[in-house]
Structure 1
């Protein structure tokens, strides 16, 4: 029995779509669930390179599937591959988001350690959008609204530098901000030790 026959037998009862590729990234197995999910008949898919057929991309639209892909390289080093989500092209051109699990079929050769890389896939679960924990308004008077609709108030919040620090951090969200940049923006006329003390106090009050 060939390796592909053995793989077909092992996964015959799964409801997942399956495609398997050889060490040259050519599709050698394409099951009926894959036909149903993606629209390609096995006769169309088998023999093609997976990255050329499916054009897999990350959720951000960055190409993921390619010759020398990270998944194959991990498998060649005999490292486990965690399941992951991928955007792939259906036969109609529609992009479908799927969740993929990998099973590597090894050989006994160090020169060619992978006989096949089996991809089991199913439609990915849509992640519910998380409601914002805070709503921050910067135009006009800086205001922070909690998820329950209440507005942040109090003597510490009324301090101008506390609100200014929050606005500065929001405008630089997702970026590394060195404390010297904050000091330069909020306390440009103070000497450094005094400005640093003010920064530490303001951070404490903002928390």
Structure 2
């Protein structure tokens, strides 16, 4: 009777160890998912960029200067300039043909607009570089997490294999004990007949 109680305790201990392994695996997966959620949240809601006044102006100029609105507006202004200076009387023209003042204004606009747009593009290029560095770091972290998970799962599997081996040894021990009891009972049964 005492041997059976010990065997039952051993079996219950083996079941509890198996449950512990499953709980450990669940905890690892849960922790990994929480960490991944933090990364995703940081990527979806990045910190706001602090721009200086000059940077904000260069962005607005670049945005407007590279739009159809600017092209259409500028074309309309140039057409009106040319029409006004060709249609009105000579004494009222402020820029008669060959439109030297218009060429000067166009050159000044181009000379000022180009470096402002380049400043905006340089900052955009810096943001793109930082974004690609962040992507690289996220990918690296993901790879390290996957390796870490593989190692943890390998350790858990090794523990589980050891537990299974120990369980088989215990089962074999129980089977031997049961076989011995059955043999003893079989020997006693023929004697009573």
Which of the five TM-score ranges fits, normalised by the shorter chain? under 0.3
- So what's the TM-score if we normalise by structure 1? 0.18
Structure having the higher Rg: 2
Higher relative contact order (CA 8 A, sep 6+): 2
- So what's the TM-score if we normalise by structure 2? 0.19
Larger helix proportion of the pair: 2
